[in-house]
Structure 1
């Protein structure tokens, strides 16, 4: 696939080419039970090994490199490729939790960085796909076990449409796939242009990603149900804040301000993650917070904001594991 005399347009076409179905993996994005029947919505992803092979094929094993570094308590991956006599770099990152393996965090960050090069970007055109969840195991089925939604069983990965497959795998049975692909590609290009305009506001700053993370933490911690409290907290964290609403914060706050809000919300969110992961009560987790922060009156989760740090969370994880092993606390159903 590598061509020394390829134009940049040809190189990009090689990078953007659809992957064989064997290089695509499907993951559950959400699931539930409706009228007594379990279901799941799934999304397609390209495997990290396929991305590496694609880079080898287009640029050669010595024609690309990657670099990882910590960024906003996540992992930022930069993929650099040797193009027209110089190294060109593109970056993106993935959030890392206390319970995600380092390998998983690195893989996720590299997949997102690869999209910046056009690799696997066409998969963004695929919307969530509904799959049936059944109790018996079948050939090719993938297991699902979601204790939160109480969805258990197996599901079969969907078949990719023709436009998302290389020519040798296309069935020719989808007559509307061409126009569908054009429409989806046009929408994807518009979305990418919008992201590019947003990224110009701050080099290397993924504002949509930061907003999404903060929104998730506000929801998980219960702050989203008290909008007035959110701005009060942000003003306490950042007395020089210029925005008057959460919408203005998401639109106009600087990268450094977003980092500050993120760093305060993240540890409190992780307290919930600890409780859920080890199946212990939140009251038990808050008890450990009180031990580590004796000068703070810990009455509820909201009491932890501005006091609990990621170091505290790491200590609490060890305390929970130790007390579970010694029988000092019990797991809940």
Structure 2
């Protein structure tokens, strides 16, 4: 429970701490069949009950509260915490899921609202990872039956890298509580471009720890070029004095003092963090160009709705708050409003 003399930095450290592997679950983001057989790309997420337990641990059962409201067919969740004598609230939302739509919507909303408090946010740095789907069931395997991709069978949850585990589980080869297969979480770097329906080869061993040799599947030059492109797309390249402070928000241990030093000295794990915080905001600019709509409309009509706790005045307001999922939701909203005439394309 929160101590009276606890600083805000200590509060955030407790909230942002990695969860035990038993609290991490996995879901399939997409699947397909290649020459080697059926496959799936999976993502890690934290269970909503684990989020509630974390809030209990940090603030005490009476030190936080949540509230759900309906919004545009989805669910908004507001998590309020009692800090320094006042209630502080953060809100985010989710759409109903295909299965258990109401319960799934509530669960998704509390996960996103929790991420605004830093709870489980580190999992956003774990991008999709490849798993093989087998007809045989092993202990701990998860079942998939995707009618669209025709993939049916069982897959084993990957292992998490050490940096995504609490200290008492690091270096022990721990996995998700439902996994017994010796399979590393090998795709924590930005995803590679793929052709057709087959995913890129699964990189060999995960090497996202500082001072480790670069992973076989990690293309440093490409990631640096992408980061440079994201900086240009977002206009951050013209605000050099803002770049290192932004990187420090996602990596408090940053040792570099300039962008050129980042390019030369940053570890693979650090570059992944910077890539993931820049890409969604850069994608907003590409989305506006693709649909030929005003970027101001994209930000103030759609991003503001999806990120209600932040005053979205420009792209710079979006860093660390906008995720890839946010961009996907904005894209759907823009398409819908263009079709109904609620939004007009620019000349």
Residue 66 of structure 1 and its aligned partner are, at CA, apart by: 0.3
1:205 paired with 2:298, answer no
Q: Helix, strand or coil: the match of 1:123?
A: helix
1:244 paired with 2:332, answer no
1:104-143 equivalence runs, <5 A = 104-143=104-143
Partner of 1:48: 48
Partner of 1:186: 274
Deviations 1:250-300 (A, max 9, x none): xxxxxxxxxxxxxxxxxxxxxxxxxxxxxxxxxxxxxxxxxxxxxxxxxxx
Partner of 2:181: none
Q: Helix, strand or coil: the match of 2:49?
A: helix
Deviations 1:298-327 (A, max 9, x none): xxxxxxxxxxxxxxxxxxxxxxxxxxxxxx
Q: Kindly report the root-mean-square deviation, in angstroms, between the aligned alpha carbons of the 2 structures.
A: 3.2
Residue 175 of structure 1 and its aligned partner are, at CA, apart by: 6.3
Residue 101 of structure 1 and its aligned partner are, at CA, apart by: 2.8
**Closer/same/farther in 2, CA of residues 105 and 176 from structure 1, 3 Å limit:** closer
Count residues in correspondence: 230
Q: Helix, strand or coil: the match of 2:39?
A: strand
Distance 2:135 2:58 in 1: 43
Distance 1:217 1:33 in 2: 31
Residue 212 of structure 1 and its aligned partner are, at CA, apart by: 2.6
- More deviation in 120-129 or 95-104? 95-104
Residue 104 of structure 1 and its aligned partner are, at CA, apart by: 1.4
Deviations 1:83-119 (A, max 9, x none): 1111000010001267643111101100000000000
**Which segments of 5 or more consecutive residues in structure 2 lack a partner in the other structure?**
174-205, 211-266, 285-295, 308-321
Is the contact between residue 122 and residue 185 of structure 1 (CA under 8 Å) also seen in structure 2? no
1:253-272 equivalence runs, <5 A = none
Deviations 1:110-152 (A, max 9, x none): 0000000000000000010000111101011111111111101
Partner of 1:88: 88
Q: Helix, strand or coil: the match of 1:177?
A: coil
Partner of 1:297: none
Is the contact between residue 75 and residue 106 of structure 2 (CA under 8 Å) also seen in structure 1? yes
Q: Helix, strand or coil: the match of 2:305?
A: coil
Partner of 2:164: 164
Partner of 1:262: none
Distance 1:59 1:22 in 2: 22
- More deviation in 182-191 or 23-32? 182-191
Distance 2:45 2:98 in 1: 23
1:177 paired with 2:279, answer no
Greater share of residues in helix: 1
**Closer/same/farther in 2, CA of residues 35 and 98 from structure 1, 3 Å limit:** closer
Distance 1:72 1:54 in 2: 29
**Closer/same/farther in 2, CA of residues 11 and 181 from structure 1, 3 Å limit:** farther
Distance 2:89 2:96 in 1: 22
Residue 71 of structure 1 and its aligned partner are, at CA, apart by: 0.9
**Which segments of 5 or more consecutive residues in structure 1 lack a partner in the other structure?**
224-229, 246-333
